[in-house]
A and B are shown apart, each in its own frame.
Chain A
Amino acid sequence: MVELSGNLLFAAFVFYLVAILFFGGAIRQKKGLEGSPYQNKPVRSGKIAMTLTILGFISQLGYFITRWIAAGHAPVSNMFEFITFFSIMMVGAFIIIYSIYRSTVLGLFTLPIVLIIIAYGSMFTKDVTPLIPALQSYWLPIHVMTTAAGQAILSISFIAGLIYLIKTIDASAPPKKQFFLEMILYCINAVIGFIMIKLVFSIMNYQAVFEWVDKEGNTSTLKYTLPAILGPNEWNLLTAGRMEPILEMPAILEAQKFNTVIWSFIAGTVLYILIRLITRKKAARLFHPFVKKINADFLDEISYRSVLIGFPVFTLGGLVFAMIWAQIAWTRFWAWDPKEVWALITWLFYAAFLHLRLSKGWHGEKSAWLAVIGFGIIMFNLVFVNLIIAGLHAYV
């Protein structure tokens, strides 16, 4: 069952990959695209792309259901499962937004991001984990699934915002803006870099065991699966023939995680520089041909609409359901735990976004930048708060 579930996920990956090609084709063929409602009928390759996307979505749902049956609980309880579920919701959100606006450009940008997210999730252990007592509740699926859905819909606003920025920030824009746009694309490169490095070293079966001294002064061992640039506190390399760390981390920081981050940035930087050298263009300019025809106001509206739909869903899942469950499991609905605080921060951020838009008229470019920052906060909550801050925190 677990194997079947894994295969379905892989099938979805392939469906999405092929769908991207057809979305690309749809944009080439279409003339007078996204203009008046009478011309806004998708061409054939757009329809094929959408069919493939829906097939991929169904296949991913299949993954989810089979894994649920196999595990005996909703598969949203570890990093791999949560990130994968998030990717399903992102496709779902895209399908909903597509049904309203019929924008194939949106698909062309959403699916690659979804692929990166699926691949990123697959870097974590795929073992089916049993649930600790705090997680044994029907509120686990209710809360996590609603929150992920909300975050996924909000993420669509990032995608539309990103397309907006790629479209409107051209070579004549202030260098600062061009720089920040490149920054976004560079960050995406770093994630791809992380995935590639992880894959390469796991194929090589790289392992280096260290003995180290933790903050309480106890000695224990630690297994690295990437060469150690950053070694743990008072490290002592036990595996022969492995790279020796260049720097030593203090005991309170988790050396292994920082090491992974460093590797991701190195790989991302190499990747980015290669792209720039080979194409001799800013990364954003590479995508420019795909977004030329789409109307900027149209993108702005997709972005805003996604926030409008995503905000209530996120509030329901990330705050309301979260509080109900915390009251049952942890005796109080709010404990100022970092994960909770970051949900609050996300919520406050989008509240500010809505007010700035409604009252201060922050439309178009400003709104697009805000959508990007919002996605940054969601990703920060997903990745850093789970992996790094919670690591410092005595989690129940």
Chain B
Amino acid sequence: MEKVKCECGHINPHGTILCEACGKILDEKMNQNELLDMRYEGSARRSQTYNKTIIDKVWNFFSSVKVGVTLIVVTLIASIIGTVLPQEGNLSIQIPVNQYYEERYGWFGKIYYTLGFHDLYGSWWYLLLIASIGVSLVICSLDRVIPLYKALKNQKVTRNSGFLKRQRLYSEKQIDNTVGDIEIVKERLTKKRYNVMEENGNLLAEKGRFSRWGPYINHIGLIIFLIGAMLRFAPGFYVNEALWIKEGDTLAIPGTNKEYYLTNHQFILELYDESDGEVYKEALNQKGGVVKNYQSNITLYKAEESLPGEKPKLHKLEDYQIQVNKPLKFDQYAIYQSSYRLNEIAKMTFSLTDKESGQTFGDITIDLTNPEENYDLGNGYHVELMSYFPDFQIVDGEPSTKSSKPVNPAFAFKMVTPDKPQGEVSFAAIQQTIEPMGENKYKMTFKSVDTVNYSGLTVRKDLTLPIIALGGVIFLIGVAQGSFWYHRRIWLKQENGVILLAGHTNKNWYGFAKEIETIVHGTKIPVPVDQTLLKEKKAMEGQGGKSVG
């Protein structure tokens, strides 16, 4: 594309509106405006220059801030909808999800479910919205940052007078002998940390240019964050496993390829009580039991390489007390205390008893997680465990189990004794015994139960965290840069005994105008006037209305 040469000699890229060096208006249309649109310094932005191919059109679509803001607002509204009812992922329910929403929230729940709002944040269209924001961010930033960089780098001290006159803050005045005043102004500018440049008696004072890069840096941070969040779906980056482990057990930690093992010695649940101090008394009386601590005391092991089927050799790595807010960390993994089950039935003991005499012939203890089939009591007595129902119920006359948790265990025993070599069958559940084959001589008397606590642990590995953290830090640096500092420029030009003074800032005009006022205070150099206010005033007076301010 052909470049544009300005009368000051600078060669600008095609599409430039204001000369990068002297600010002269290159685009005729702008000449009619009273004030210049100073955003991006009138530099040549791709989106404003080309609109022919499909690529141009896509580029222009995503580089529009209108589109960007629309995407943000749509995402915002969608997010609100997702908080109206609980999300599927945050529920812990037994019944099917669709049934749940309808039963609990009626017709509204049904619609909510049907439209897919129960899993809104995992839905393809929500992810698409976020992805579009990401694309928009990248294109939008690229479209602006490079031309802006060039324009700010190439700017000259001496500006075209038309450029100065069309600045928002501007004034001009005929003065002779300006030398002393200009010296004062220069000194004050330096004191206010302006970078003052001089050329043929003209001044450019500039401060905080680096803040202009703030938005682009924060957008880069966001992009890195989004990339990090996406990487989670790449294999090997993310492990999220639940580990239910009983007290006393040693199990391989899921997600670690059996490289690590863990023993759970004890699960502890503590409540607050009087010993925690007088101050909590009121609150504890009001609320009742408040949990003070959830804790699993564990030992971590590393397994030596072993052949399949062989029991691995374990090397103890460390003892640790996992608490909420104090996960166990090792290698790239972290193990969290996230749940528990108390007093679950682990073992049940029964005695083989003669119903009539009450004489017993020995006890059997059934380990519910690992029930054996045969229990030999010696002297020709033995008990066979025919079947086991952890959560017993009768459906259509048939015994079955509701779940695999030992909530309501029931057993079918075959009792073999010297006088009944064929064996008698007895069906024993808590509180009831059924003798399906007719009246028995013997029975299994329930004797005792051993309970055990389970720790519910979460095993997590997330290699995306450093990337996400990096994105967050860059984002924060970028926003701080763009929010706490401002880019301010003051131009002073002397032309045929007239002093032209113009100012531009990217934000906070009121404060900037006040700052210039203090800088020129007491000198002959005129205080610049906010031309937008002048225009407004004129318009108001033209209508015969009263003035503002």
State the A residues within 8 Å of B (CB): 2, 36-38, 70-72, 125, 127-130, 132-134, 136-137, 139, 215, 252, 295-298, 300-301, 304-305, 308-309, 311-312, 315-316, 319-320, 323, 327-333, 335-338, 341-342, 344-345, 348-349, 351-352, 355-356, 358-360, 385, 389, 392-394
Contacts and interface: CB of A to CB of B under 8 A. Distances in A.
Contacts of B235: none
Q: Which 3 pairs between the two chains have the least Cβ-Cβ distance?
A: A133-B324, A359-B65, A127-B283
A132 B135 CA distance: 42
Interface in B82-99: 82-83, 85-87, 89-92
Contacts of B343: none
B537 to A, nearest CB: 13
Contact of B476 (A136, A320, A389): A320
B283 A329 contact: no
Given A72-B279, A134-B324, 9 more contacts: A37-B514, A125-B286, A130-B272, A301-B510, A308-B484, A309-B484, A358-B65, A359-B69, A393-B86
Interface in B123-151: none
Contacts of B324: 133-134, 136, 329
B509 A297 contact: yes
Interface string B528-549: 0000010000000000000011
A347 B91 CA distance: 26
Contacts of B290: 129-130, 132
Contacts of A359: 39, 65-66, 69
B325 A296 contact: no
**Majority secondary structure of chain A interface residues (helix, strand, loop or mixed):** helix
Given A301-B508, A337-B90, A129 B283 contact: yes
B518 interface: yes
Given A133-B324, A252-B104, A359-B39, A128 B283 contact: yes
B83 A352 contact: no
B484 A296 contact: no
A331 B507 contact: no
Interface string B273-294: 0001101101110110011111
Interface string B455-495: 00010101001001000100110011001100000000000
Of B68, B92, B272, B283, the most chain A CB neighbours within 10 A belong to: B283
Contact of A336 (B90, B240, B476): B90
B476 A327 contact: no
Contacts of B105: 252
A345 B90 contact: no
Nearest to A309: B483
A67 to B, nearest CB: 10
Contacts of B121: 336, 341
A128 B291 contact: no
Nearest to B460: A331
Contacts of B507: 304, 308, 358
B476 A394 contact: no
A385 to B, nearest CB: 8
A315 B475 contact: yes
B410 to A, nearest CB: 27
A297 B537 CA distance: 14
29 contacts: A127-B282, A128-B282, A130-B272, A130-B283, A133-B291, A133-B324, A133-B325, A252-B105, A305-B511, A308-B483, A308-B507, A316-B476, A328-B325, A329-B324, A331-B327, A331-B334, A332-B462, A341-B80, A341-B82, A341-B121, A345-B80, A348-B72, A352-B73, A355-B68, A356-B69, A358-B65, A360-B65, A393-B86, A394-B86
